[in-house]
Chains A and B, each alone.
Chain A
């Protein structure tokens, strides 16, 4: 195994993300998956929109494309159609993909184009100052919901299964080994792979909701874990950090996996 740092643009490091932000753990897991699969760096295109999560594309030594807010799946669709030989990976956030780019995401899923989408869900708009996102849980405090969010939140995985994504998984940033495994499966999957990573925002979500810093937020997500396909590995990383009342559970693991025709932009007409 090579050092995952060899996949980084070291000159761009250290990254801009806040102390305790789990996006860096997600990046490391993704690079580990790339390393395990021995993918060619020049054959990976990482496409990002706007947001904290989308900054990750700036630190990886792959082909990278930084697009407009929410439109990363649209850029990725065009790129994949023009260059089917590339492994196209979209790295996006919850606000980016589910609110501003909701349409692009669901239609890319519907077409089942062969791209991998990593959605880093930190339950809030981090970069712009902690506004409530469609993934902010009901009752949670954000800068735009100082008395608690009054709206229910999205279950991104259910949305994507409904939209037709052929591989849908949810993993926790607190379980990086599981995350690497699922990411490798997602990269290998022919068709639209959607991986929601429960990440954290200690700076806004953790501070406003008094969850705590990075370590506490990792615990907070790991106690929510209700693995559907059983734990992928038996390593549980942050168990011994004490936590207060556990929030409602999250189904994690590979939630949906099917093989169906992959979109190539060409209509296949049967011979008569």
Chain B
């Protein structure tokens, strides 16, 4: 890349607001007086497919595309996208990743193999390259603020910590570009994300275990009547009723947590437990508490 020009990559899944976020970044950088070029791939993705956007800024930018291994920051709105695009980040660069997992839509026909191929959340993946990593649960933060769709602003808040422009430019760009009526919540989300960036990452967020994996199926055998509805509706064939009419879990690893069995069990006999609580680097973490 030409001297003095830097790159940012945004990646996510259709419907998460990746394009809007990249418009905000570009607008904020322009307000700060930079030359900016932006290029995105979308449209084919529709909801649920991969969407990404390159942004380059500096005194003079010739091409919008960020070359491999040279991005200053990667803002990933979804975990698999973080893993997919991390190669674009320069050694010592920053990765801001939402730890939410969205299993791709191809999974509708066979979610089992997709989930198995889904990358485990592993902070060490980034450690070897001396990347500054911020794993955040932007979806939860935005939900707490009142609108899950503000998750992209949370991520922008964290990203802003790694881009050296004044916050007034960010806030002006957000207020200008988000849908009318959502300015307040998006600004609150941006500030919440900013706090996450400043907080030290507690060790829990780097825990390679427990972020994803199969859901736990709990069966109350004393309530189950072996009616076979659950095993017939399970898309992953996790459950089976044996010859004695007793429900058994034949493939516990395959459960993707769709909860069809739980919702359709007439006897309240099935509970699906999500994998261990996501370790969240929330807005309430401070340097003191993690010291």
Residues of A within 8 A of B (CB): 3-5, 8, 13-15, 17-25, 27-29, 176-177, 202, 213-215, 218, 237-238, 240-241
A23-B263 contact in complex given A14-B223, A213-B227, A215-B228, C-beta closer than 8 Å:
no
Asked whether B266 is an interface residue with its Cβ less than 8 Å from the other chain, the reply is: yes
A24-B266 contact in complex given A14-B222, A19-B225, A237-B260, C-beta closer than 8 Å:
yes
Residue of B nearest to A18 (CB): B225
8 A Cβ contacts from B221-268 to A: 222-223, 225-229, 232-233, 235, 260, 263-268
Residues from chain A with a CB closer than 8 A to the CB of B271 are 3
Residues from chain B with a CB closer than 8 A to the CB of A215 are 227-229, 232-233
Report Cα–Cα, A5/B233, bound state, in Å: 22
Report Cα–Cα, A4/B232, bound state, in Å: 23
Please determine whether A23 and B266 come into contact, CB atoms closer than 8 angstroms. yes
Residues from chain A with a CB closer than 8 A to the CB of B268 are 4-5, 8, 13, 24, 28
Report the minimum CB–CB distance from B74 to chain A (whole Å).
33
Report Cα–Cα, A153/B154, bound state, in Å: 57
Chain B interface, >50% SS class? loop
Please determine whether B233 and A20 come into contact, CB atoms closer than 8 angstroms. no
Chosen A-B contacts, 8 in total, with CB atoms closer than 8 Å, are A3-B271, A8-B268, A17-B266, A19-B227, A29-B263, A177-B263, A237-B264, A241-B233
Report Cα–Cα, A4/B271, bound state, in Å: 11
Residues from chain B with a CB closer than 8 A to the CB of A4 are 268
Report Cα–Cα, A28/B269, bound state, in Å: 11
Picked from A3, A8, A20, A241, the residue with its CB within 8 Å of the CB of B266 is A20
Report the minimum CB–CB distance from A167 to chain B (whole Å).
24
Residues from chain B with a CB closer than 8 A to the CB of A240 are 235
Report Cα–Cα, A176/B223, bound state, in Å: 20
Residues from chain A with a CB closer than 8 A to the CB of B267 are 14-15, 17, 24
Report Cα–Cα, A27/B271, bound state, in Å: 16
Residues from chain A with a CB closer than 8 A to the CB of B228 are 19-20, 213-215
Residues of B within 8 A of A (CB): 222-223, 225-229, 232-233, 235, 260, 263-269, 271
Q: List the 10 closest pairs (A to B, CB-CB), nearest first.
A: A24-B266, A20-B227, A19-B227, A19-B225, A215-B232, A14-B223, A214-B227, A215-B229, A214-B229, A176-B263
Residue of B nearest to A180 (CB): B263
Report the minimum CB–CB distance from B231 to chain A (whole Å).
8
A24-B265 contact in complex given A14-B225, A19-B227, C-beta closer than 8 Å:
yes
Residue of A nearest to B269 (CB): A14
Report Cα–Cα, A165/B269, bound state, in Å: 36
Residues from chain B with a CB closer than 8 A to the CB of A28 are 263, 265-266, 268
Residue of B nearest to A13 (CB): B223
Residue of B nearest to A179 (CB): B263
Report Cα–Cα, A28/B222, bound state, in Å: 18
Please determine whether A238 and B266 come into contact, CB atoms closer than 8 angstroms. no
Picked from A15, A17, A19, the residue with its CB within 8 Å of the CB of B226 is A19
Residues from chain B with a CB closer than 8 A to the CB of A238 are 232-233, 264
Please determine whether A237 and B226 come into contact, CB atoms closer than 8 angstroms. no
Picked from B232, B260, B266, the residue with its CB within 8 Å of the CB of A22 is B266
A241-B263 contact in complex given A14-B223, A19-B227, A20-B227, C-beta closer than 8 Å:
no
Residues from chain B with a CB closer than 8 A to the CB of A5 are 268
Residues from chain B with a CB closer than 8 A to the CB of A21 are 227, 266
Residues from chain A with a CB closer than 8 A to the CB of B266 are 17, 20-25, 27-28, 214
Report Cα–Cα, A176/B269, bound state, in Å: 16
Report Cα–Cα, A13/B269, bound state, in Å: 10
Report the minimum CB–CB distance from B218 to chain A (whole Å).
11
Report the minimum CB–CB distance from A30 to chain B (whole Å).
12
Residues from chain B with a CB closer than 8 A to the CB of A22 are 266
Report the minimum CB–CB distance from A55 to chain B (whole Å).
12
7 other contacts beyond A14-B267, A218-B229, with CB at 8 A cut-off?
A: A14-B269, A28-B268, A176-B263, A214-B228, A215-B229, A238-B264, A241-B232
Report Cα–Cα, A3/B226, bound state, in Å: 22
Please determine whether A25 and B233 come into contact, CB atoms closer than 8 angstroms. no
Residues from chain A with a CB closer than 8 A to the CB of B260 are 237
Report Cα–Cα, A20/B271, bound state, in Å: 18
Residues from chain B with a CB closer than 8 A to the CB of A18 are 225
Report the minimum CB–CB distance from A39 to chain B (whole Å).
19
Report the minimum CB–CB distance from B238 to chain A (whole Å).
15
Residue of A nearest to B230 (CB): A215
Residues from chain A with a CB closer than 8 A to the CB of B232 are 215, 238, 241
Residues from chain B with a CB closer than 8 A to the CB of A13 are 223, 268
Report Cα–Cα, A213/B225, bound state, in Å: 12
Report Cα–Cα, A4/B267, bound state, in Å: 12
Report Cα–Cα, A17/B265, bound state, in Å: 12
Residue of B nearest to A200 (CB): B266
Report the minimum CB–CB distance from B269 to chain A (whole Å).
8
Residue of B nearest to A20 (CB): B227
Residue of A nearest to B222 (CB): A14
Residues from chain B with a CB closer than 8 A to the CB of A202 are 227
Report Cα–Cα, A14/B227, bound state, in Å: 14
Report Cα–Cα, A25/B232, bound state, in Å: 15
